[in-house]
Chains A and B, each alone.
Chain A
Amino acid sequence: MSKRSSKVPAMSTPTSIKRETTLEPKQSIKSTSTSTSSLTLCQSVHNYWASATTKVKLMDTFMAFLVVLGVLQFIFCVLVGNFPFNAFLGGFSSTVGQFVLTACLRIQTSPSNVQQFPQVSPERSLGDFIVGSLILHFAVYHFIN
């Protein structure tokens, strides 16, 4: 009995939200949904920050930096023009490529993915990362002239 009673209020909260969303105009939906999601978002960010190791944090920061850099380059290209198209493309693809390679490294070194990569040890993946980056930057260098 006690279990049931405890379940009822838990069930009722989402339904009440739903009712609100159906009755109220659009703005309120957004506000409610963002408020609930921001709450959980905060929590999950917090969780993430607490659980991640320094290496992972380093990689993630680097990736975020690359994303920002790529977006900046793209905005620059849209606003100012893409005259030396080689240069823009070289810069942009180097950020994309580096991002992707870093993501690969992060995936491969993550301890939860060990069974997915039976033959790729963390050391090996670091070596792969370096080789890949070298090829990438050689190509970019050649591309820019």
Chain B
Amino acid sequence: MKLKQLTFSVDTAERVQLLLRVIILIGIAAVAISSRLFSVVRFESIIHEFDPWFNFRATKYLVNNGFYKFLNWFDDRTWYPLGRVTGGTLYPGLMVTSGIIHKILHIFSLPIDIRNICVLLAPAFSGLTAYATYLFTKEMKNEAAGLLAAAFMGIAPGYISRSVAGSYDNEAIAIFLLMITFYLWIKAIKLGSVFWGATCAMFYFYMVAAWGGYVFITNMIPVHVFVLLLMGRYNDRIYVAYSSWYALGTLASMQIPFVGFLPIRSSEHMGALGVFGLLQLVAFSQFLRNQLSPKLFKRILISSVIGIITLAGLALTAMTYAGVIAPWGGRFYSLWDTNYAKVHIPIIASVSEHQPTAWPSFFFDTHMLVWLFPAGIYLIFQELRDEHLFVIVYAVLGSYFAGVMVRLMLTLTPVICVSAAVAINTLFEMYTNFTIDGVKCTLTITNKQNIIEEPTQVAGKKESETKVEESDKEFYLGLVGKFAVITSFALYLFMFVIHCTWVTSNAYSSPSVVLASRNPDGSQLLIDDFREAYYWLRMNTEEDARVMSWWDYGYQIGGMADRTTLVDNNTWNNTHIATVGKAMASSEEKAYPILRKHDVDYILVVFGGHLGYSGDDINKFLWMVRISEGIWPEDIKERLFFTDKGEYKVDGEATQTMRDSLLYKMSYYNYPDLYASINNGAGGYDRVRQQTIPMSVSPKLNVIEEAFTSENWIVRIYKVKDLDNMGRDLFKATAFDEGRNKKKRKASSSDKKAATLRV
């Protein structure tokens, strides 16, 4: 009877624990989702930034036209006049996901607008990410650590930065897929089952469909296997897991049109293939070892190893030289050789996401977790089972990549959360144990570690027995220390939560389409210039008008204004971008033929000088110059944009080339006049560059004319003039017009002179 009761109580305890775990997980998911809704609450349900606008546009196309049309989508409204084979050059995972959700909801007759699905997709998936992190950490340590990791993952700003409501980007679902794929991989390698390997391959396939960062998985898993092999930890479970994952996953990943044959051609995927081959050989040699006599086996092994290595090396170099295998892809290569991108691909270097990470961003994105991270790594090293090696490899590679590229902070955040959770969990397991035999517990834990460190089990046992006896006597003194540890760490965790909330609400919840600022009295002021300008374009221009702008705004113009663009954020054609850069950087005479050739009707520039918005085109100007200099070094020269002293000036000291350039003229056209009455006619003050543009250099336009300027001058749109009716040169025509105006104005200007003299 007694025994029965006991088992029953253990059973209920387990059930209660399970229930608690479920409740906690649901709570974590709820917190994760709700903390990402700041932006919806603050602003409105709107798509953010740049890339999401394209994804949104593609999703709308998918929902309206169906899947097969979507796959064969040729978009003639971008990259005018080239167009873009959009269906074959995107990762369709995100759009298909929201399309399917849309369809399912409609089956249940819930007519939710596709835009709302897109906006809320990222928060919904963040809840799932927290769950996947829980599963992953559970495999590493235990359920409690899993819950902690899930909680960290749910609120860590490093992940929130890419998954707030409205940031409808590939990363929104990719991080969930990353974690679930890793979890399934760990599961597969633990159990050695084809089923888990196949599931892992299926999620890998989903990941390939969703994000270009799948290459991270493609290299992480082989590296893990390779390290295991190097440590002599080969077993058949590894063979089963890796072979089934690689064979199915690679084949499946080649179904994505954009990926195509890359997995067998590009060097990024060669590591996985190589490890696959290596594993086959190792498995075969194991098989032979069982069948053959040791001496014979050794002889065959050595000769075949040498033969294979030379053969493989020769074949690889020959194939790379012959061009069968593509050399390293540019974007990925920039991770390894950090100078490569800067020298060879200015377009990559120009994107701020590809910049290296300074230490404050690490702290900003993970707060205290960043220093618990190495502690967790150390604790994981103490156990070092096969799956722990995975975390270690992930930690080192992930932190390297995150250091090289700001964007990859995202892939590092999960492992930071996992190992910090392991550290906190181990700490709390020891210091929150208030039962009498609590010390015994802690000691058995340390004792276990002893055993792993030194296999002399007997000595370890003896040590622990003596310890238990001693510390049992004076147990209550240790209590104070426990309280100190628990309260201080609880305080830090509390601070972490506050930090995360603050960061989320202040740094990551701005849609960047709508800017927020504060009035002098502290009330919030929304600056909605972008949408104002895009709406103007949509309403006031012909439907097939072609709008030229720098590529950053291409997706937004396509998504919000629905007009044809020349270049956009999918930077597939460097030459075309350089053409736009050349038009912006040349003088009007040189730019006009380019504009005519590309049938440009309107030019859109972003100018932040009035408001102090630093992400404007003048600040990006040097990149335009550099990119076009890369293609036309004889026409565009970067040094001509710097003054003799090597400074980048826009005021009276600006170089002639700078003042003549189309972008400069468009940015500052009429700008000094705005300040005419403010600072005694000294000129327009640029708040971003903190320089004053004097009246004397106020630009004059000949071949284009101002069409629209938004409320805060952020967006300015110019119309390209048609050829003159009377066949005149446009410069002469403008001069003629001005001459007429001057005559009219003469009287009034003489009045002004008198007025200034009086002062």
Contacts and interface: CB of A to CB of B under 8 A. Distances in A.
Interface of A: 33, 37, 40-41, 44, 47-48, 85, 89, 93, 96-97, 100-101, 103-105, 107-108, 112-113, 116-117, 119-120, 124-125, 127-129, 131-132, 135-136, 139-140, 142-143
A93 B300 contact: no
Nearest to A138: B252
B235 to A, nearest CB: 6
Given A103-B283, A131-B194, A93 B299 contact: no
A117 to B, nearest CB: 5
Interface in B197-239: 197-198, 201-202, 235-237, 239
Contact of B195 (A37, A100, A127, A142): A127
Interface string B283-303: 100000011110010011000
B293 A131 contact: no
B701 to A, nearest CB: 54
Interface in B445-500: none
B248 interface: yes
Contacts of B363: none
Given A103-B283, A125-B194, A93 B240 contact: no
Contact of B193 (A40, A96, A128): A128
B254 A100 contact: no
Q: Which of A48, A97, A124, A139 has the most CB of B within 10 A?
A: A139
Nearest to B283: A103
Nearest to B247: A97
B195 A104 contact: no
Nearest to B197: A132
B192 interface: yes
A93 B193 contact: no
Interface in B236-269: 236-237, 239-240, 243-244, 246-248, 250-252, 254-255, 261, 264
Contact of A132 (B191, B192, B194, B280): B194
Contact of A135 (B248, B254, B264, B300): B248
Given A116-B237, A143-B255, A44 B193 contact: no
A104 B246 CA distance: 13
A117 B387 CA distance: 16
B244 A85 contact: no
A136 B251 CA distance: 8
A116 B233 CA distance: 13
Contacts of B292: 40-41, 44
Given A41-B296, A89-B254, A89-B261, A104 B291 contact: no
Given A93-B251, A97-B251, A100-B247, A135 B240 contact: no
Interface string B357-392: 000000000000000000000000000000000000
Contacts of B264: 89
B299 A33 contact: yes
Given A101-B194, A143-B254, A117 B237 contact: yes
A93 B264 CA distance: 11
A94 B22 CA distance: 42
A69 B236 CA distance: 25
B198 A128 contact: yes
A104 to B, nearest CB: 4
B198 A131 contact: yes
A97 to B, nearest CB: 4
Nearest to A126: B194
Interface of B: 191-195, 197-198, 201-202, 235-237, 239-240, 243-244, 246-248, 250-252, 254-255, 261, 264, 280, 283, 290-293, 296, 299-300
A33 B264 CA distance: 38
B293 A44 contact: yes
Contacts of B283: 103, 107
Given A96-B247, A136-B247, A143-B254, A120 B191 contact: yes
A112 B192 CA distance: 15
Contacts of B235: 116
A139 B251 contact: yes
Nearest to B246: A100
B192 A116 contact: yes
26 contacts: A40-B293, A44-B292, A89-B264, A93-B247, A97-B247, A97-B251, A100-B244, A103-B239, A107-B236, A107-B239, A107-B283, A108-B240, A117-B193, A124-B193, A125-B194, A128-B195, A128-B198, A131-B198, A132-B194, A132-B197, A132-B198, A132-B244, A132-B248, A135-B248, A136-B248, A143-B255
Contacts of A125: 193-194
Contact of B244 (A40, A101, A112): A101
Contacts of A124: 193, 195
A104 B195 CA distance: 11
B251 A143 contact: yes
Contact of B239 (A96, A104, A136, A142): A104
A140 B250 CA distance: 11
A15 to B, nearest CB: 14
Contacts of B197: 132
The 6 closest A-B pairs by CB, nearest first: A128-B194, A97-B247, A100-B243, A128-B195, A104-B240, A132-B194
B28 to A, nearest CB: 29
Q: Which of A47, A136, A143 has the most CB of B within 10 A?
A: A136
A140 B243 contact: no
Q: Which of B192, B240, B246, B252 has the most CB of A within 10 A?
A: B240
Contacts of A117: 191-193, 236-237
Given A44-B292, A124-B195, 7 more contacts: A33-B299, A117-B193, A117-B236, A132-B194, A135-B198, A135-B252, A139-B255
A145 to B, nearest CB: 11
A135 B202 contact: yes
A47 B290 CA distance: 11
B248 A103 contact: no
Nearest to A112: B290
Contacts of A100: 243-244, 246-247, 280
A73 to B, nearest CB: 14
B703 to A, nearest CB: 50
Contacts of A143: 251, 254-255
Contacts of A113: 236
A103 B243 CA distance: 9
Contacts of B240: 104, 107-108
A11 to B, nearest CB: 14
Nearest to B193: A120
Contacts of B201: 135
Contacts of B280: 100
B198 A119 contact: no
Nearest to A39: B296
Contacts of A140: 251
A132 to B, nearest CB: 5
A113 B290 CA distance: 12
Contacts of B291: 44, 47-48
